[in-house]
Structure 1
Amino acid sequence: MLPVHWMSRDEQEGLLYADMNFKGWSGVRTMRWGHAHPTWTFWALPFLTDLLFERYSVSFSRTFSGIRVQDENRQTKRVAKWGDFMYEDEDMLNVGLWRDGAVKEWCKFDLEWELYKQRFEVDVDMMHDTKWYPDGVPLVFLSMHNTKTFESIDWMLSWIARCHVLQPNLDACPRGAAAPPTCLEGQLEERELRLRPEQYTAAMCCCIQPRLENWIFWHGHWFSKREDVPGILPNVSKKRTCSLP
């Protein structure tokens, strides 16, 4: 399974990111474009092995006769040819899943790290598209993506870890939806607060409200357990099709 990508690559022309639409395969798409951050069990090994074998084989002969093992009781013979989707792993994983008729994908759990410190100011229709998730993709605050700025990431992970251990009283946090200025590393307010270590952690925990208690966000609603997230919300137009970890 792949987590939903932050862009669908299947958008209507003229809309945001439509210029990034995937055109390397013309078959039926069974779910939204997934990010190449796969999770799998041993049941997926035949799928992954066959995908790798397909790519390896066509790099020499451009065609090959292969066997795809779909389950322990059925095998499907097919002939594969070189396609533009074979240039990288993410393309091949998506096409392979569509080709097999897969419909299971994770909700977005590999989030940009800036989303962790936006407090309550998260767009209601985050990562939406017109076909698959018109009301936005459910976000799961479990892991981070694009963590290339080591100093900032280390700084943020340090106080998130402390917040989870200390569980400070957040009633004293500033009112409003926006994160306080102290949540921006390197800003004057943040540097001054560091001079008062006894207050620093408690104040920084306000930045990640309400993620300490409620780690799932969907269309303006925060949830503390995946079991509490309904298939559809009263104010959305389409049922949630992604799975929650």
Structure 2
Amino acid sequence: MKKIFSVLLLIAFTLFFAQEEKPMFWQDIQEFKKQDQENPPAKNSILLIGSSSFTKWTDVNEYFLGKTIINRGFGGSRLTDLNYYAEDLLSPYQPKQIIVYCGENDFADNAKLRADVVVDRFKSFYKKMRKKFPKIEIDYISIKYSPSREHLWPQMKQANKEIAKFMWREKNAEFIDITRIMNDQSGKIRKELFVEDMLHMTPEGYRLWTIVMTPFMK
């Protein structure tokens, strides 16, 4: 009896620690795999990869009629997470274009983080994308200036500037700047484009993104 109890206890501890050791966003990635299994992803689609600004854009296909879009935004992901899960985010798909929105949460995770660190994180992910897809269009959407993160804007602006320079030097790559269209005539961010948390956007915010993004969509 004691022996059976010991075995059951060992199994319980093993299962408990196995669950505890799962990395952040593991469940999100498993959900993507489940979706892909139930509905095989279309070839020559536009693949969105990034953080919650994509995650919450649940009706993105309605904004880009005639386009086939696969949305793989997850949680409050950072560029470190995109690099960690790069194989899972890229290998299942055969897109004609990838659009990335990520980096905002890197700064939110560490207010002292330098812009060049975030830029290097993006460059690492860009290399992974290019290794997998040497010739397709790869675009980066600029980090938005969320009112709730105003204290981080200086680093974000510098990161946007450096990533823009990097993308302009690359072939089949574009930097999509959504910051200007989100400002009012005096150059201040339009707070009404954000929901109560002053971080995530209203449908009008996404409508403005659509205006800027459309000319870049394949």
- Above 0.5 in TM-score? no
Looking at secondary structure, tell me which structure has more helix per residue.
2
Q: Which structure: larger Rg? A: 1
